[in-house]
Amino acid sequence: MTEPQMRRAPSQKRSRERVDAILATATDMIAKAGSDALRMSELAQRTGISIGSLYQYFPDKSAVVRALAERSNEESRACIAEGLAAAASMEALAGAFASLVDTYYGLFLAEPVIRDIWSAVQADGALRAMEVAESRRNGALLAARLKLLRPQADPARIEATALLVMHLGEATMRLAVSVDRTEGDRLVEAYKRMAIRELTAP
């Protein structure tokens, strides 16, 4: 799942370690020098394998970036699912949402490499659709809760709202961590207000 594009199915254990090592090196390179600094030859060298071996684990550079992004997405998604699971009322949902936003913002601040991974995704034409797909998955989690809490509302409208709120959440995070901390905090607060008002509106 995390590495869906492997060239062959290898003798599990060692190759799994190899893949982990490759992704760790890649994360490191991106964290230290930005999303444009990922060179396949350097990635191989720093991981301690040859370029040929690297291409046995990942069919191309996009696959490396995709694996990084999917790992990160899976974490966030699990976090979102868990955070929303308990919300049994509109007020609880608003609270859960607010604290999810805070958590995610904290994560972005603590590990700016997440933003760089997203940059790498957007820099790759073959991967740009990932962002919408991920917003859609997260939106579906939120929409499921909303439908429970508002059984008579228009489902299509709920879905659109949930998708938008999740997508704009990502956009807000990326904006917030690219400005200074004070302003970033204000942006996140404004986003929370907007999103929660829309979610709890009649």
**Under the rule (CB under 7 A), what is the footprint of DNA?**
8, 10-11, 14-15, 18, 38-41, 49-53, 55-57, 59-62
Closest CB 33 distance from DNA, rounded Å: 11
Nearer to DNA, 35 or 135 (CB): 35
d(CA 63, CA 51): 15
Q: Which does 14 bind (CB under 5 to 8 A by kind): DNA, a copy of itself, none?
A: DNA
Nearer to DNA, 53 or 122 (CB): 53
DSSP, res 41: H
Q: Which does 160 bind (CB under 5 to 8 A by kind): a copy of itself, DNA, none?
A: a copy of itself
Closest CB 4 distance from DNA, rounded Å: 16
Nearest to 170 by CA among 191, 145, 201, 142: 191
Residues contacting 145, CB < 8 A, separation 6+: 84, 87, 93
Closest CB 16 distance from DNA, rounded Å: 11
Q: Which does 59 bind (CB under 5 to 8 A by kind): DNA, a copy of itself, none?
A: DNA
Nearer to a copy of itself, 11 or 180 (CB): 180
Residues 35 and 120 sit within 8 Å (Cβ to Cβ)? yes
**Per-position b or e across 13-50, b if 16+ CB within 10 A of its CB:** eebeebbeebbebbbebbbeeebeebeeeebbebbebe
CB atoms within 10 A of CB 143: 22
Residues 105 and 173 sit within 8 Å (Cβ to Cβ)? yes
Nearer to DNA, 11 or 152 (CB): 11
Q: Which does 17 bind (CB under 5 to 8 A by kind): a copy of itself, DNA, none?
A: none
Closest CB 1 distance from a copy of itself, rounded Å: 25
Nearer to a copy of itself, 19 or 141 (CB): 141
Q: What is the C-alpha R_g of the chain?
A: 19
Closest CB 119 distance from DNA, rounded Å: 15
